Amino acid sequence: MPNPAKATLPPGVSAQDFQAAIKEFQNIVGSDFVFAEPERLVSYSKIMIPDDVSLHQPSGAVAPASVEEIQAILKVANRYRIPLWVISTGKNLGYGSAAPATAGQVVLDLKRMNRILEVDAEMGTALVEPGVTYLQLKQYLDERNIPLWISFPSSGPIAGPVGNTLDRGVGYNRYGEHFANFCGLEVVLADGLVVRTATGDVKGNNTWQSYRWGYGPWVDGLFSQSNFGIVTKMGLWLMHKPEASKGFLVGWNDDEGMAKGVDVARKLNLNGVIENGVIGHSMYHIGQIKKRSEIYNGPGAIPLAEVKRICNAEGLGIWGFICTLYGTEEQIAVNLKIAQEAFKSTGGQMLIEGMPEIKNTPFEHWNKNMTGQPTLTEFGLYNYRGGGGSAWFAPLVQCKGSEMLKQLALVRPVLEEFGFDHLAGLLISGRHMEHVVDILFDRNDRDELKRAHDCFAKLIDVFTAAGYGLYRTSTGFMEQAAKAYGPAQRDLNHRLKRALDPNGIIAPGKSGIA
C-alpha cells in the first residue's frame, strides 16, 4: 500500500479513503495494474510543458482491461470522490503527456485495451480500442496485405488514433482532419452507462462505422476535448491506397511568397485539385537535424536576417509547401499541371518528386506522412535546445495569406521578447489552418522554464485580444485558453458536466471544465 504521508492525495479525500479506494481498484484489475507508490508513477508524472511538475502530480494510476472493469472503477471513484484523468497511450507530447491537468487525480490508463476489433478493407473502416497505436494499426494492415493507409500526427508511431482524434489532432493524407474521419463511438458515462453513438445500438446493424449521424441529436462531439465520458471504442475511416501518388514542394524565400502560396493552396483544395498540404518554416526542418548550438550561439531569439541566412545555407528557402497528389497516373498528371500553373503566380520554386534537387529538403519526411509511413523524424526537435521542454502553441487561422501575415506579426515579437525561435508549420484544411509553433526549452534551467511559461501565457493573451482562439492546448493552459471562447460556451459546458458527471470525477480541468 502507498504511504499516505508521501502520496499526493486527491483534493478533499482523506488518506484512509484513498487507501480504501486503491484496495478496491486492486480487487478490480489486480495489484499489478494499480500504481500508487511515487516511484511507480514516474511515467505518469513526466511533462514537457513549461509548468511545475507538482501541479500535475497524479495520486495514482489504474489500468483496466475491459469496459466492465471501467464501470467498476467508476463506481468506486464516485463513492470516494476520486478524480480520474483518462489517457489512451499517454503520448500527448508537448500537450501534457500522460500527466493530469491538476494534481491528485488518479490516471485511468487505457493502454491494456488495445485490440483492433475489426477492419473492413472494402469499406475502408476500422474499429479500435483506445490503447491501439498508429504503428500497431499499420502493422496489422501490412501483415494482412490490406491496401489501406492510416493518417497520423507527427508522433504517429507511438501515439494512438483514439486519443489523437478526440483531441482533434491532425494528420497529413486526405483524411488528415481526424475528427472529420471517425465514425461511431462507444462511451462509458460517469454513472457506468455504456452508450454506442450513431447506429451502434441498432440490433444487427452493419453501418456503425459507415454512417456517422444515427438518429436524433448527434452527440459524438460532446466527447471530444471534454470530460463528459470515457471513450472505449472508436470507428475510423482509412484511406484506400491509390493507384499512384506524386508529391511536390514549393519553396519561398520571403513571407509574402508564402502568403501567396496559402491563397493558392486554399483555392486548389476547395476545388478538389489537391487534398492535403502543409506549409513549414525551414527552421522547423533544420531543428530536427541540427542542434541550435551548431547554427547559432548569440543571445536571445535568432534574428530574422540570420534565420534567412541559416535556411539558405542549408539550400532551402525560408518556407516550403508540401503536398501529395493521389489517384490514377492520368489524374495526377492533370492536377500536377494545374498546381504548377497556379503556384507560378507566387514566385515560388517548385520541385517534383523524383527530381534530384528534392533530396536534401524536408520533402521526404512529409511525403512519408502523406503516404501512410510513420517516422520518428520530428522527434529530433527535442535535441534542438535539449533539456526536454516542449509546448505547442496552436492558434487557428483562416486560410488566407493576409491572415497568416497578421499572425506572424503577433507571434514573432512575443517569441523574441522571451528569447525563443519561431519553429512552426501551417496545417492546411481548406478553409482554416492550424498555425503550430513548438516552443522548445530546457526544463532543467529554471529561468528558461519560467520564460517559456510566461511566453506561452502572453501568446494566448495577445492572440485572444486579436480574435484568434487555440485549436487545442496543453494541460497547463486549458483554463486560460477556454476563456477566449466566451462565457456562454463555458456555462453550457459546465451544465453538461453537472448533468453527466455530477460528482465531477472524470478528468476535472480538461479544456477548462471543472
Prediction pTM value: 0.95
Structural domain range at position 53: 15-112
Final residue before a domain boundary, out of 448, 465, 482: 465
Annotated catalytic, 95? yes
In a domain, 489, yes or no: no
Q: Which pLDDT belongs to residue 160? A: 96
Q: With beta carbons less than 8 A apart as the criterion, state whether 211 and 199 touch.
A: yes
Q: Which pLDDT belongs to residue 5? A: 42
CA dist list (Å): 216 to 183, 219, 220, 322: 16, 9, 12, 40
**Domain shared by 70 and 108, yes or no:** yes
Cα–Cα distance measured from residue 245 to residue 276, given in angstroms and rounded to the nearest whole number: 12
Q: Residue 270: enclosing H or E segment and its boundaries?
A: helix 255-270
Annotated catalytic, 296? no
Residue 435 pLDDT > 60: yes
Catalytic residue among 326, 382, 384, 471: 471
In a domain, 53, yes or no: yes
Cα–Cα distance measured from residue 492 to residue 490, given in angstroms and rounded to the nearest whole number: 5
Cα–Cα distance measured from residue 127 to residue 327, given in angstroms and rounded to the nearest whole number: 26
Residue 189 pLDDT > 60: yes
For residue range 23-48, list pLDDT tens digits in order: 999 999 999 999 999 999 999 999 99
**Domain shared by 380 and 297, yes or no:** yes
Final residue before a domain boundary, out of 212, 240, 268: 240
Residue 444 pLDDT > 70: yes
Cα–Cα distance measured from residue 72 to residue 28, given in angstroms and rounded to the nearest whole number: 7
In a domain, 280, yes or no: yes
Phi and psi, residue 388, nearest 5°: 75, 15
**Domain shared by 250 and 384, yes or no:** yes
Cα–Cα distance measured from residue 181 to residue 161, given in angstroms and rounded to the nearest whole number: 11
pLDDT, averaged across the chain = 96
Residue 290 pLDDT > 60: yes
**Domain shared by 146 and 133, yes or no:** yes
What percent of the chain has a predicted confidence (pLDDT) above 90? 96
C-alpha cell at 335: 492536377
In a domain, 255, yes or no: yes
For the chain, the distance separating the N- and C-terminal CA atoms, rounded to the nearest angstrom, is: 29
C-alpha cell at 231: 471513450
Number of domains in the chain: 3
Catalytic residue among 174, 212, 443, 472: 472
Q: With beta carbons less than 8 A apart as the criterion, state whether 162 and 234 touch.
A: yes
Q: With beta carbons less than 8 A apart as the criterion, state whether 185 and 220 touch.
A: yes
**Domain shared by 252 and 236, yes or no:** no
Catalytic residue among 44, 95, 326, 384: 95
**Domain shared by 57 and 169, yes or no:** no
**Domain shared by 337 and 378, yes or no:** yes
DSSP H helices in 290-328: 292-295, 304-313
**Domain shared by 270 and 342, yes or no:** yes
Sign of CA dihedral 459, 492, 168, 407: negative
CA dist list (Å): 317 to 68, 347, 478: 55, 12, 35
Q: Residue 289: enclosing H or E segment and its boundaries?
A: helix 282-289
Q: Which pLDDT belongs to residue 3? A: 53
**Domain shared by 298 and 378, yes or no:** yes
Core vs surface per residue 165-175: b (16+ CB within 10 A) or e: bbbbbbbbbbb
Domain with residue 26: its CATH number is 3.30.43.10
Domain with residue 327: its CATH number is 3.40.462.10
For residue range 220-273, list pLDDT tens digits in order: 999 999 999 999 999 999 999 999 999 999 999 999 999 999 999 999 999 999
For residue range 133-188, list pLDDT tens digits in order: 999 999 999 999 999 999 999 888 899 999 999 999 999 999 999 999 999 999 99
Residue 7 pLDDT > 90: no
Q: With beta carbons less than 8 A apart as the criterion, state whether 129 and 89 touch.
A: no
In a domain, 441, yes or no: yes
Cα–Cα distance measured from residue 89 to residue 1, given in angstroms and rounded to the nearest whole number: 26
Residue whose entry in the numeric block shows the C-alpha cell 496545417:
427
| Average pLDDT value for residue range 408-415 | 98
**Domain shared by 257 and 291, yes or no:** yes
Final residue before a domain boundary, out of 465, 484, 506: 465
Q: With beta carbons less than 8 A apart as the criterion, state whether 465 and 476 touch.
A: no
Cα–Cα distance measured from residue 113 to residue 480, given in angstroms and rounded to the nearest whole number: 33
CA dist list (Å): 429 to 111, 270, 394: 30, 9, 14
pLDDT-derived band at 6 (thresholds 50, 70, 90) equals low
Cα–Cα distance measured from residue 322 to residue 376, given in angstroms and rounded to the nearest whole number: 18
